[in-house]
Amino acid sequence: MRLAAIQYCAGADVQENLREAGTRIAEAVEGGARLVVLPENFACYGGDYRALAGHGIDTVTGWLATQAREQGIWLLGGSLPLAVRPDGEPVPAPRVRAASLLVGPDGTLRARYDKLHLFDALVPDAQGSYCESRQFEPGDRLVTVPVEQFTLGMAVCYDLRFPSLARALADRGSNLLVYPSAFTAVTGAAHWELLLRARAVETGCYVLGVNQCGQHSERRASYGHSMLVDPWGRVQATLGDGPGVLLGDVLHNEIDDVRHRLPVHTHQRLLTGLPDDIRDN
């Protein structure tokens, strides 16, 4: 199956972001992609996420459905703010959920994953302090979903730093892990490739990191370098620090071969279950 990662620099203008994404999606489809993945905050970077979740989100979700249906692809909207939980309960204001939505080729929603781990950190860049937990409520469930002949494990950005999540997704059948992201320029340069390759080697999965790029504001920049890593930890394709479309193929025989030669999933001795507040989908 051919994958595509869409990399660009989103800002606060939703319509402009969707125009950019639509152009890149068409390019990916022309290149043969069956699964196209957009980055974290693909429709809006910065601004009032609660306001977007309350008044403009139907436009964005409708756009995802239309793009997937008209192009005949699987389309993963990296993340967008939603003011309701998967069970329909409202998220208490002023926070929202950072939700990743997978839409099938028929335009129907196939899966929703809400970001589990929130980026509260001190980074040596112009912004310095990040506190996603002020704006976002963490998710509470793992999500795996069949996509053609593969099983996709869903995650978002900061989730990449938690090997226990990747392992849990692989234990539930995932052989393709996808991380739509907005890794900062500083943390990305230090850790992005290292983390993507580590998650691939640990799980025997293909790992696709789909990042924002460029200068979003005076104080905030993203690293870019979207990347596909195979189960052996080899970088199969990567972009630079500017906008673009990454194309790469995932192969079942590669997954099977690596897992046969290095069956680490059968050798684990330190096993832990899910915490009480995290559920399977």
State the average pLDDT over residues 143-166.
99
Residues 89-139 have pLDDT tens digits of 999 999 999 999 999 999 999 999 999 999 999 999 999 999 999 999 999
Q: What pLDDT band is residue 178 in, cutting at 50, 70 and 90? A: very high
pLDDT tens-digit readout, 243-276: 999 999 999 999 999 999 999 989 988 877 888 8
Q: Which of 81, 62, 66 is nearest to 26 (CA)?
A: 66
Catalytic residues: 40, 115, 157
Q: What is the pTM of this model?
A: 0.97
Dihedral, 87, 208, 144, 107 alpha carbons, nearest 10: 60
Alpha carbons 184 and 220: distance in angstroms, whole number: 7
Task: Give the CATH class of 2-280.
Answer: alpha beta
Query: Chain-wide mean pLDDT for the chain?
Result: 97
Digit-coded pLDDT (tens) for 183-241: 999 999 999 999 999 999 999 999 999 999 999 999 999 999 999 999 999 999 999 99
Q: Is the pLDDT of residue 27 over 80?
A: yes
So what's the pLDDT on residue 181? 99
Q: Is the pLDDT of residue 164 over 90?
A: yes
Rg, the chain, Cα only? 17
Delimit the domains of the chain by residue range. 2-280
3-state SS assignment for residue 157? helix
Q: Classify 82 in phi/psi space as left (phi over 0), alpha (psi -120 to 50) or beta.
A: beta
